[in-house]
Amino acid sequence: MTLKSTKLTRILLLTAALSFSLPSMAQDENEPAGKLQPYSTTPEQYEQIPSNWGISSVTIVYPGGGDRGVDDMMGTGKKAVLYRDDAEVLDIDLGELANMRLATQNPNALVISFPIQHIPGNYSLFIPDGIIRMAEDAGIVDPSAGDETEPVDPIALINGAFTLNFEIVESPDFSFTPVPGAVKPEQLYTVTITYPEDATISAGQAGSKPQLIFHKGTHSDVEDGDIYLSPYDMSFEKNRVILNIADQESVIPTMGNFSANWDYIDIPGDCWVVNLNGKSYPTPNMKLEKYSVSATASADFKISPDPEDKDVFQPSDLRTLTLEYPETWTPRADTKVGNIIGYLRQTGIGESNAASIEGYLAGTYIIRSVDKESRLITFSLEQSDGTGYTNNTALFETSYYSVTLNAKLFMNNKNQSSNEFGYPGYMVRGKDSIAPLNVSVENVNSVDGLNVVSPSVGFTKAVIEWPFDLNINNGNAMITITRNGETVYEAKASSVFSSGIGNKEMSISFGRVAIRTAGDYTLSIPAGTYIQKSYCNYPSEEIVYSFVIPGNPSMSAYPEAGTSETEPSALPEIDEFSINYPEGTTISLPSSFS
C-alpha cells in the first residue's frame, strides 16, 4: 500500500502524540517516579462514554515484555475508589477476584470491575499503589523508546498510584452496523448509526470528520506496524447517521492477505446533534469498536457453512466444515486425512488486546476426508483433551469467530501455491448460563435410579464438577437443604465454599456433624451463585439435586406383641420367634453374631 504524504503526516502526528502522552498520562504527583506507570488504559484518559453504554470495568495495561507479565496480585486490603463530580460513589475491594483480575489475553493487563455506571458526570477512578508486581524477567518496555531495558530498581516492578479520569455523557440509545467483531474490509465502507425513530439528526459544529483507524499488531506492549487512517463523509437521514469511507485504498491493501486488530472508528465530539423529545444531544467524543478486519486473495474457495449464511451460529455449526476449491486448483500431495488444516479463532472481541484474525485459539481443525473428484475437503475440530472442541471454554462465549486455514494447501495449474485462507464473521451465540457436569453429596450411591445416602454414615458436604473453573459470584446467595419439604439447613454461599481460586471441582461443606435423619432431601443452589470469569463471565445455572436417606424398613414379628402367646405364662412354650422384612430385602449378620 502507498501512503500519501498527508496521510503519513497524520500518522506521524498521532504516533508522536501517543508516545509523549502515555508515560505521563496518569502520573500521580505524590507518587515516586520510579514506580510502574500504565502504558495504556481503556477507556483512555478523559474519554467520553455515552450514557446508554455505561461503564462497568476499566483495563490498565502495564509496560512489560515477554509472556509472564504480572507476576503477583497484591490487592488484599487495598481499595480502588470511584468518584463522580468529586463525590465518592464506590469503594472497590481489590482483594475480591470479581473486582480485580488479569485480562484474558494479555498478562500485562489488569481489569478492575464494578457495578455499571450510567449517570452522566465527570468520573475519576483512583487506583492505589502496590496492587501488582511485574515478573522480574518480563523486561520493562519504555513506550516512547520502543525497546526493552532491565529494571534497575525493584520498585519499578510495582505499580504506582494513579487516577483515571473519564466522562459519562448523556446520550440517547443507538445501534450501529456492522456490529463490532470480525468483518470484511468492504463492510466498513458504509457504517450506519441508528437512533430512536422519533429522533432527528442535524450537522454539528465540528469541522473534523470520523476516522477509521487500523492498528496492525498485538497492541500489548509495543505497536507493531503502521496505523492506517481514512476519513468518513457524513450524511443524515431522519434518525440515522450514515458514514461513507472517503479513501477505500487505505482500507484494502493492493496485494496479498491482510489482517488488523483493535480497530475502531474515532468520532470527534459535536460531529452531529441528535434532537429527541425536545432535547438536543451533541455527539460525545467516542469510539465505535472493536472491528477485526481481514482480506484474503483466495476468495474463489468456498466454505460451508459460509459466514454470511446467517446472522448467528450455534457452536455445533462450526464442528465440521467443508471446503470446495475451484477447478484450476488441486490439493497438494501432503494434504492428507489426519493432518491439521487450520484453526478456529475467537476474533474481534477482547479486553485490552482484542484478538485479530490471528486471535485467540479456540480449536484445531483436522482433515477428515479429501475428495479430489468433487473438489471437497471435509474437516472437523479435534477431539483431544488439549484443544478439543468439547473441552474448549471459548466456545461457550458469545463472540465472533474466524476459520483460518493453513497456507499452501493447494496448487493451481500455474504451479502456484495458495495463500492462507481467512473466513471471519461467524457470530456464535454462547450459553446464557453454565450447567454443572455433575452434582453429588458425600457417600451417595445410585440405587434403582435413586441417589441414596446410607443412614449409617450420612453426609457433610456436596461436590460440584464444572466443565471449567468457576468462582463465587454472589456470596450472599442462600444454599439450602430441605427434608420432606422442610428446610433443615441454609447458609450463605461465601460461608460454605471451601475451594481456592479457580475451581473445576467445588466442595461445599455443611458442617462437621453428619446429617443422617431419614427422608427425601433436596439441595438447592440459586442461579448465578457462581460465575466463569476467564472467558465469558457467564453465571451458573440453578442447581436442584435430589437424594434420599432411607429409614428402617417396615417389618412384622411372629408371634405378634400383645397376643395370648406372649403372655408371661405362655413364654416357655414359644419355640419359634421370627422377624419378617419386605420381600426383596437381603439380611446379613455381623461376624460377631452368635
pLDDT tens, residue by residue, 26-49: 334 444 456 888 888 888 899 899
* pLDDT score for 575: 65
CA 147, distance to chain mean position in Å, is: 31
Q: How far apart are CA 280 and CA 260, in angstroms?
A: 36
Domains along the sequence of the chain with CATH:
5-169 (2.60.40.1220), 175-245+257-292 (2.60.40), 302-428 (2.60.40), 438-549 (2.60.40)
* pLDDT score for 456: 83
Is 28:162 a contact under the CB 8 Å cutoff?
yes
| Phi-psi category of residue 53: left, alpha or beta, with phi > 0 → left and psi -120 to 50 → alpha | alpha
90 has pLDDT over 90: yes
Q: State mean pLDDT over 4-17.
A: 27
pLDDT confidence tier of residue 302, bands split at 50, 70 and 90: confident
309 has pLDDT over 60: yes
125 has pLDDT over 90: yes
| Phi-psi category of residue 533: left, alpha or beta, with phi > 0 → left and psi -120 to 50 → alpha | alpha
Q: How far apart are CA 131 and CA 81, in angstroms?
A: 14
Q: How far apart are CA 415 and CA 487, in angstroms?
A: 76
A 10 A CB-CB count for 5 gives 7
300 has pLDDT over 90: no
Is 323:302 a contact under the CB 8 Å cutoff?
yes
pLDDT confidence tier of residue 486, bands split at 50, 70 and 90: very high
pLDDT tens, residue by residue, 132-145: 988 776 555 444 44
Beta strands 181-183; 286-295: pairing state: parallel
pLDDT confidence tier of residue 485, bands split at 50, 70 and 90: very high
* pLDDT score for 104: 63
Instruction: Answer with the residue of higher pLDDT: 547 or 401.
Output: 547
Closest-CA residue to 200 (of 270, 268, 278)? 278
Instruction: Answer with the residue of higher pLDDT: 586 or 435.
Output: 435
Q: How far apart are CA 209 and CA 267, in angstroms?
A: 7
* pLDDT score for 211: 86
pLDDT confidence tier of residue 405, bands split at 50, 70 and 90: confident
Closest-CA residue to 404 (of 386, 390, 422)? 422
* pLDDT score for 166: 95
pLDDT tens, residue by residue, 439-459: 999 999 888 888 999 888 899
* pLDDT score for 592: 63
10 has pLDDT over 70: no
* pLDDT score for 220: 34
Instruction: Answer with the residue of higher pLDDT: 557 or 262.
Output: 557
321 has pLDDT over 90: yes
225 has pLDDT over 50: no
Which of 251-255, 336-340, 371-375, 379-383 is the least confident region?
251-255
Phi and psi dihedrals of 394, rounded to 5? -65, -30
* pLDDT score for 440: 93
Best mean pLDDT range from 54-68, 114-128, 315-329: 114-128
Residue 513: all three cell numbers together: 456433624
Q: State mean pLDDT over 258-284.
A: 81
Phi and psi dihedrals of 194, rounded to 5? -115, 125
Instruction: Answer with the residue of higher pLDDT: 227 or 535.
Output: 227
* pLDDT score for 496: 83
7 has pLDDT over 60: no
Instruction: Answer with the residue of higher pLDDT: 357 or 31.
Output: 31
DSSP, res 199: -
Which of 310-319, 466-475, 478-487, 498-507 is the least confident region?
498-507
State percent of the chain over pLDDT 70.
67
Instruction: Answer with the residue of higher pLDDT: 452 or 591.
Output: 452
pLDDT confidence tier of residue 554, bands split at 50, 70 and 90: low
- In sequence order, the β-bridge partners of residue 113 are 57
258 has pLDDT over 70: no
DSSP, res 20: H
Beta strands 47-50; 162-169: pairing state: parallel
Instruction: Answer with the residue of higher pLDDT: 367 or 263.
Output: 367
A 10 A CB-CB count for 519 gives 16
**Start-to-end CA span in the chain (Å):** 98
A 10 A CB-CB count for 23 gives 15
* pLDDT score for 498: 64
* pLDDT score for 235: 93
* pLDDT score for 475: 85
pLDDT tens, residue by residue, 414-428: 677 776 677 766 777
- In sequence order, the β-bridge partners of residue 312 are none
pLDDT mean across residues, the chain: 75
pLDDT tens, residue by residue, 190-201: 899 999 999 999
DSSP, res 81: E
pLDDT confidence tier of residue 236, bands split at 50, 70 and 90: very high
Instruction: Answer with the residue of higher pLDDT: 354 or 227.
Output: 227
Q: What is the pTM of this model?
A: 0.51
